[in-house]
Amino acid sequence: MLRIATWNINSVRLRIDMVCRFLGDEKPDVLCLQEIKCRNGEFPEKAFKQAGYKHMHVVGQKGWHGVAIVSKLKLEPIEAPALCPKDEARVAAAKVAGIEVHNLYVPAGADVPDPEANPKFAHKLTVLDRMKSAYKKRRGSAPMVLVGDLNVAPGEFDVWSHKQLLNVVSHTPAETERLNAAREAGGFVDLARLHKPDPEKVFTWWSYRSPDWTKNNRGRRLDHIWASADLAPHSQGDLFQIHAPCRSWERPSDHVPVVAGLKL
């Protein structure tokens, strides 16, 4: 069994105690983090080692980006696809237990869903287009799990209101069509929807702007775990979990962890 978790932690140093609490409670074999907000040398290696995660692949950067893969099992860093034209630290890839694990942090895209008026939205669409091209080329090359904060809620039931969010960044047709095209081109299966089919509403993110996220539950599913077609049948439905209670922990991330289990 291989259990893989993904979590946009929104500063790993600020929330390292929270991360270690989650690791102690849930004990995934592999944890993929996004938005670590630190350079490689600033990553809290000691805390992860003390938690039992001695193997790490960190792609850090000063500022707002950065991704990392930590593992109980030995991991081998591999070349990640060049998805970001700005050379931001948004992709890390490693081989664990014979499986390629790709950890992605797709740009949020700011607030205006117009690539001509908003360069950040144009950047996001470019990254999504590059995802399609890169994973089409890699399709069938190896058993693969793609995880991360993809910053797109692709389906009608991945947002609290499909109608009200159609022109809101993260759920616009320009984004959802591109993300679905990338998934299909790479031959991936969306494990959330494999185990929690429509019309069940599934969320992994709740805005900080909400005074009480539990009361209105205006969430979006921005965090994803995809498996290549050969691995998807090994995904265990009872082990797929979205850890929503983490959103109520003290000083939380606005994202919560998602965990999938593969019976190998």
Residues 149-197 have pLDDT tens digits of 999 999 999 999 999 999 999 999 999 999 999 999 999 999 999 999 9
Given a cut of 90, is residue 214 above it in pLDDT?
no
pLDDT tier, 212 (very low <50, low <70, confident <90, very high otherwise): confident
Q: Which tokens hold the place of 76?
A: 């081998």
- In terms of pTM, does the model score above 0.85? yes
Looking at the predicted structure, is the pLDDT value of residue 239 above 90? yes
Q: Strands across the sheet with 188-190, in order?
A: 75-77, 91-96, 99-105, 144-149, 223-228, 188-190
CATH architecture of 2-262: 4-Layer Sandwich (3.60)
What pLDDT does 70 receive?
98
- DSSP, residue by residue, 144-199: EEEEEE-----SGGGBS-HHHHTTSTTSSHHHHHHHHHHHHHHTEEEHHHHHS-TT
Q: Is the pLDDT of residue 210 over 90?
A: no
User: How far is Cα 125 from Cα 106, in angstroms, rounded to an integer?
Assistant: 9
CA dist., res. 250 & res. 176, Å (int): 32
CA distances from 193 to 2, 3, 20, 170, 264 (A): 19, 18, 28, 18, 21
